[in-house]
A and B are shown apart, each in its own frame.
Chain A
Amino acid sequence: MEIKVGEHWIVNFGQFPVNMDTVLTAWIAMIAIILLAFVVTRKLDIFPDGFQAVAEQIMGFIEGITTGEMGKDGLKHVPLIASLFLFVLFANLEGQLPWKLLQLPGEPASPTNDINTTLGLALVVSIYYIGAGLLEKGFGYFKHYLQPMWFMFPFNLLEDFTRPLSLSLRLFGNILAGELIILILISLVPVLAPVPMMLFELFIAFIQAYIFAVLATSYIAAATTKEHH
């Protein structure tokens, strides 16, 4: 069996090549989240039952991440953090579905095993934290580039570029490495041997979604909190 890395089912729309497998699975993840949100918000009640209780637990967990980092100010950043967490979680979990059953030109997998998806998410985070810092402090936001001394400016500027790089490569690398290991195990022993690794990948999916949300929160917190002098 031939193992290919980073090859996608590419469809050209005019001049733009589009990775169709990534787009397809990303849309499936979004549809799953929208359906989940639709189901849990029927029959809202002050005494939550079943689905609503689970959804409130999840939202409480995400609010815990943001308020733990920023205090009460964190609540206004919950929509972005919650969207990122849920999308990354669903996208990672999707990789373990039996996509090979569908006879498509390319095999769909997690949308997060495509560097374009993860870089897009990381750029959303980096634009958001710069915007949040500007809204919070006005042009005083740019003063932190000169902290603690003026000659640290290049290093502080470099941080704005390394943050999206490490955020995107971490998610991409983890998911891609997991899928490669499962692929290699399948090519060696197709029956039962990859199952423990797949279960481990489910755990990795949760960890990576949590890490993505925590790092996004800490970047926003670093940009918006007032420094004490």
Chain B
Amino acid sequence: MDPQSIVTLAIVLGIGLAAVGPGIGMGIATAAAINAVARQPEVEGKARNLLLFGIVFMEVLVIYAIFAVFLAKYLFKLF
């Protein structure tokens, strides 16, 4: 394998693997929010705000991965 295809593979796998953890986390958080609303329909607004707040902090992990991948691409200057 030449260096360029290794970097390409690293970029593709990097974003893909980084999306696994936050994806599972978002699933758990959304399930919990749906449970909360199903039990107490009157907390819907509050639950939505808390869910949004939590999801934002999970989502930023994938964003860091995208950023790190682009940074890697420019640092190695292989692309």
A169 touches B67 (CB 8 A): yes
User: Which residue of A has the minimal Cβ distance to B66?
Assistant: A173
The answer to whether the Cβ of B63 comes within 8 Å of any Cβ in the partner chain is: yes
Chain B's interface size range is 10 to 19
Q: Which residues of B contact A214 (CB under 8 A)?
A: 52-53
The answer to whether the Cβ of A192 comes within 8 Å of any Cβ in the partner chain is: no
In the assembly, what is the distance between CA of A211 and CA of B67, in Å?
20
B59 touches A170 (CB 8 A): yes
B66 touches A170 (CB 8 A): no
In the assembly, what is the distance between CA of A166 and CA of B67, in Å?
11
B63 touches A174 (CB 8 A): yes
For B54-79 the 0/1 string (1 means CB < 8 A from A) is 00100110111011001001100000
In the assembly, what is the distance between CA of A58 and CA of B62, in Å?
31
The answer to whether the Cβ of A177 comes within 8 Å of any Cβ in the partner chain is: yes
Assuming the A-B contacts A5-B70, A6-B70, are A169 and B64 also in contact, with contact meaning beta carbons closer than 8 angstroms in the complex? yes
In the assembly, what is the distance between CA of A202 and CA of B62, in Å?
20
Contact pick for B52, options A6, A169, A211, CB 8 Å: A211
Q: Which residues of B contact A176 (CB under 8 A)?
A: 66
Q: Which residues of A contact B66 (CB under 8 A)?
A: 173, 176-177
Expressed in whole angstroms, the minimum distance between the Cβ of B71 and any Cβ of chain A is 10
B:32-46 near A, CB below 8 Å:
none
A169 touches B60 (CB 8 A): yes
Contact pick for B67, options A173, A207, A210, CB 8 Å: A173
Interface secondary structure of A, over-half rule: helix
A:93-131 near B, CB below 8 Å:
none
Contact pick for A177, options B56, B63, B73, B74, CB 8 Å: B63
Q: Which residues of B contact A172 (CB under 8 A)?
A: 63, 67
Q: Which residues of B contact A215 (CB under 8 A)?
A: 56
Contact pick for A169, options B53, B63, B73, B74, CB 8 Å: B63
A211 touches B70 (CB 8 A): no
Expressed in whole angstroms, the minimum distance between the Cβ of B23 and any Cβ of chain A is 15
Assuming the A-B contacts A207-B52, A211-B52, are A166 and B60 also in contact, with contact meaning beta carbons closer than 8 angstroms in the complex? yes
A-B residue pairs in contact (CB < 8 Å), sample of 19: A5-B70, A6-B70, A6-B74, A166-B60, A169-B60, A169-B63, A170-B56, A170-B63, A172-B63, A172-B67, A173-B62, A173-B64, A174-B59, A177-B63, A177-B66, A207-B52, A210-B52, A214-B52, A214-B53
Going nearest first, the 7 A-B pairs with the smallest beta carbon separation are: A173-B63, A170-B60, A211-B56, A166-B60, A173-B66, A169-B63, A170-B63
Residue ranges of A at the interface with B (Cβ–Cβ < 8 Å): 5-6, 166, 169-170, 172-174, 176-177, 207, 210-211, 214-215
